[in-house]
Amino acid sequence: MTSYTQNQTIIQAGDVFDSFYIITEGSVAAIYDSSETAKSFTLKKGDVVGIFDFGFKEYSFTYKALESTSVIRYSLNDFRNLHKLLEDHKDLTHFLVLSIVQNTLKVIGYYHALMGQQEKIYQYIDTASNNYQKLCKMMNLPLKSLANKEQLVAFVPGREEPAFWLESYYQSLKTSILERNPMFSNTSYIVGLLARSVSDIHKLLYNCEDITDYLNNISQLLVNETSLDLFDLYTDLLFRAKSTKKDTTLLEERLNKMISILSNHNFLDKNLVTMRIQDYHRDLKRDHSYTPALEESLPQVEQKLSRSMDAILDYADTMDVTRNEFVKYIDLYKKLPDKNNLDKNADTIRRQLTRLYNIIYTEVFQNALNDPTPPTIIKMFLNFGYVDLELAGLNNAAYLYSIAQNYQGDPSQGVYTLYEWIQAIYKGQKQPCRNELSQDYASYVHTLRSQGKIDAKGVQKMLDDTTGKVMYELESMFPSVNKITQGHVTTFCPIFIEENVVKDLESILMTPYKIKESLNKLLEIDFSAFYRPYLYADDKLGLRETVLMNIMPDFIIMPNVGSNGICWQEIEGMQRTTPGRMMLSAFHAENLDRTIINMVGDFRWEMCRRVQGMRWNDVTEHSLTSEYYDYALFYSKNRDLSQDAKEKIKLSLARAKNSYKNLFVMDYANWILSESKGSVKLNKVVRKIFSTYIPFREEICNNLMSNNTFTDCIQSYDLKKKQQLHRLQKLVQKFLAQGKSIPEAIENHIRLIGQ
């Protein structure tokens, strides 16, 4: 007999299965932990601790005492020995079969509850979304878009659903067990029943993970930490309606119903929901009339911006045909009741506007390059995609007008507005980015030469032509990246419209300070994110050493309201010692910290591929990408992973659209956000790879040393670091003994390794 106190762990998930326990007093929580959620089932007196894991090599559940609990332990190193154990302990049979059947029914009940929940929440979000559109039309107020609305699709099971008769089957078994049916005295039958039941339980739980993942994703449409959600659309509509003296009775009823649903929703962060509801009630008491910080009154600004499109087209000096066509499609665009509608007519208008906008944008830029003081409206167009007062909305346009002349990046710190970036190319300070086919400007020029379109003199002329480089950037990089960073790929239109403004513009305006602050948060954890290896050679010293240098990326701010960031390229051209290029929207409505993490994860993958070349996925050539690629490709055969871990990888791969890079970026985010704080989200194979190639700072490692999950990985990395530093210190001592100065590259290398 063994006793446990409340909250004491009896079995930890991941431990080798070597025994099970009969509960004689008290109760135990069987906790099924996944990367997204933790579900527990309560085991009571007479139940079996370990019952969910019979036949597994490792426990997939963690079992904790819910109160003072006493158990009797039975050793079972191999499931094949269960037959003999039952023959020797006939009294165990009833406990085992009743416990397994009762708990299988609990899991079946949990599955059905989840299925009902996902159907209910899908129907509610779909109805609430449609009602929002009706309310906007009823109040004659601009309709705003729900971010990530493409996620609003009915649940589709990712694997075979449980048989319809399964619950009745186990109910019948339970009745037979309680009636002491003689068939349960057959030991072989009992072993088979246990094996079948455990298999059913885990299949059901894998189905539950699919549903839970769906619920977690779709629930983000209701409330999420970026506030790009239905709750924000409804509250924003209420405040707009109040400011224009509309009747808000129906809207407030719908909002109160939504608040009730949010407060009782199990798949949302309770703290976040509480905070958002409190903010809403606080905002209700405020005056929502617009009072922008303008030197001029709103009517004055409205008058100055009333002919914005004409001013832009005049400045561009665009051809009459293009001008007339652009004006025509702008008028059609204004008349669309829902500018983000997916119907064919709306799609045609957006496509035509995008084509014409890109032509005009290039023409405006050509004139602005030699204009030391472009007009404010032109700055609004170039930096934010502003075209028309009515489309932007007066309040939004007034804000853009107030910041346009002073809006800038910080090129000295690697942060550029697109306007500043194009100027840097024009001045020869920067080279154009790659195009969609990963072809840089020099490669493009040499392709023209190989096609016979230019001769050798033409090659050199084009390579020296900064105006040609500007045109290449505006025609090859700009249209693609502008679309990607905006995020609404299926409804993309580059023009600034009120419907795309889902949060206060000032709060989401990208500035050098915000970008650097967010980047520095990440570097406090992943200090080596931008380290590059290169061969340092000094023939006078007889030295050839691979050393590290830290090269921070350039950030380019694109003229749109968007939700995506992208690492467009990891180096410039073929030079590994040049900065990467990362793109963000001028108004970035997503969580910036998370976006930066995803971009840096992408950068790490691509940079390692660049350094490793053709052998980036060759596991005999140890590297981050080769080892992770090998893990992701052969996870199903990896003996270091439990069956449960393999199922979770399968689910994660599906979420990553079967892209190993996407899977890596997801794991990288968990490494930065959770594992660095001691919260276990990754399996031990990924943790070992990351601790080798993406180490934490020394102070973080010291904090994690008390957690046994991280100890081996940290000690392994620490030993490797000490060996590297020891070898380099011997090299330094050799230089000092010979009276030679230590090369700066070596000193810098030692400093970088030692962090």
**pLDDT tens digits, one per residue of 603-615:** 999 999 999 999 9
| Per-residue pLDDT at 79 exceeds 60 | yes
When mean pLDDT is compared across 27-36, 131-140, 202-211, 730-739, the lowest value belongs to 27-36
The residue with tokens 């914005």 is 308
> Are 414 and 349 in a shared domain?
yes
Range of the domain at 714: 512-553+576-736
> Are 248 and 347 in a shared domain?
no
Cα 514 from Cα 512, distance rounded (Å): 6
Is pLDDT larger for residue 400 or for residue 539?
400
> Are 644 and 727 in a shared domain?
yes
In a domain, 83, yes or no: no
> Are 314 and 253 in a shared domain?
no
Cα 146 from Cα 487, distance rounded (Å): 12
| Per-residue pLDDT at 272 exceeds 70 | yes
Cα 695 from Cα 528, distance rounded (Å): 8
User: Chain-wide mean pLDDT for the chain?
Assistant: 89
> Are 489 and 398 in a shared domain?
yes
In a domain, 79, yes or no: no
| Per-residue pLDDT at 291 exceeds 70 | no
> Are 619 and 710 in a shared domain?
yes
**What's the average model confidence in pLDDT over 119-138?**
93
**Chosen domain end from 259, 287, 315:** 287
Q: Checking phi first, is residue 135 left (phi over 0); if not, alpha (psi -120 to 50) or beta?
A: alpha
Q: What is the pTM of this model?
A: 0.76
> Are 186 and 261 in a shared domain?
yes
SS percent in the chain: helix, strand, coil, step 5: 55, 10, 30
pLDDT per residue over 643-668, tens digit each?
A: 888 888 998 898 898 999 999 999 99
In a domain, 72, yes or no: no
pLDDT per residue over 327-364, tens digit each?
A: 999 999 999 988 988 899 999 999 999 999 999 999 99
**What's the average model confidence in pLDDT over 89-107?**
87
In a domain, 745, yes or no: no
In a domain, 354, yes or no: yes
pLDDT score at 651: 85
> Are 249 and 356 in a shared domain?
no
Q: What percent of the chain has pLDDT over 70?
A: 98
pLDDT per residue over 381-428, tens digit each?
A: 999 999 999 999 999 999 999 999 999 999 999 999 999 999 999 999
| Per-residue pLDDT at 234 exceeds 90 | yes
In a domain, 430, yes or no: yes
> Are 184 and 270 in a shared domain?
yes
Tokens at 570, concatenated: 């990891």
Question: What total number of domains does the chain contain?
Answer: 3
Phi, psi torsion values for 42, nearest 5 degrees? -90, 125
Residues whose CB falls within 8 Å of the CB of residue 71, separated by 6 or more in sequence, listed in order: 1, 2, 3, 4, 10, 21, 22, 23, 24, 28, 49
In a domain, 27, yes or no: no
pLDDT per residue over 579-637, tens digit each?
A: 999 999 999 988 899 999 999 999 999 999 999 999 999 999 999 999 999 999 999 99
DSSP H or E stretch at residue 357: helix 344-368
> Are 488 and 517 in a shared domain?
no
Task: Classify the C-alpha dihedral 268-274-276-277 as positive or negative.
Answer: positive
Kindly give the interhelix angle for 660-673 and 592-612, rounded to the nearest 10 degrees.
Answer: 130
pLDDT score at 293: 46
**Which candidate, 713, 689, 690, 719, places its Cα nearest to that of 701?**
713
When mean pLDDT is compared across 302-306, 393-397, 575-579, the lowest value belongs to 575-579
Other CB atoms closer than 10 Å to residue 255's CB: what's the count? 17
Which residue stretches of 246-307 are H helix? 249-263, 270-284, 298-305
Tokens at 47, concatenated: 């139940």
Cα 333 from Cα 4, distance rounded (Å): 69
Cα 164 from Cα 715, distance rounded (Å): 51
34 pLDDT tier (thresholds 50, 70, 90): low
**Buried/exposed code over 686-704 (b: 16+ C-beta within 10 A; e: otherwise):** bbbbbbbbbbbbeebbeeb
Cα 364 from Cα 578, distance rounded (Å): 30
**Chosen domain end from 467, 500, 533:** 500
> Are 139 and 279 in a shared domain?
yes
Q: Which strands form 554-562's sheet, in the order they lie side by side?
A: 415-417, 554-562, 581-588, 566-569
Is pLDDT larger for residue 273 or for residue 293?
273
In a domain, 19, yes or no: no
Cα 309 from Cα 318, distance rounded (Å): 12
Q: What percent of the chain has pLDDT over 90?
A: 53
- Which amino acid is present at 490? T
290 pLDDT tier (thresholds 50, 70, 90): very low
pLDDT score at 38: 61
**Chosen domain end from 266, 287, 308:** 287
pLDDT score at 523: 96
> Are 417 and 279 in a shared domain?
no
**What's the average model confidence in pLDDT over 732-737?**
80
Tokens at 725, concatenated: 């530093």
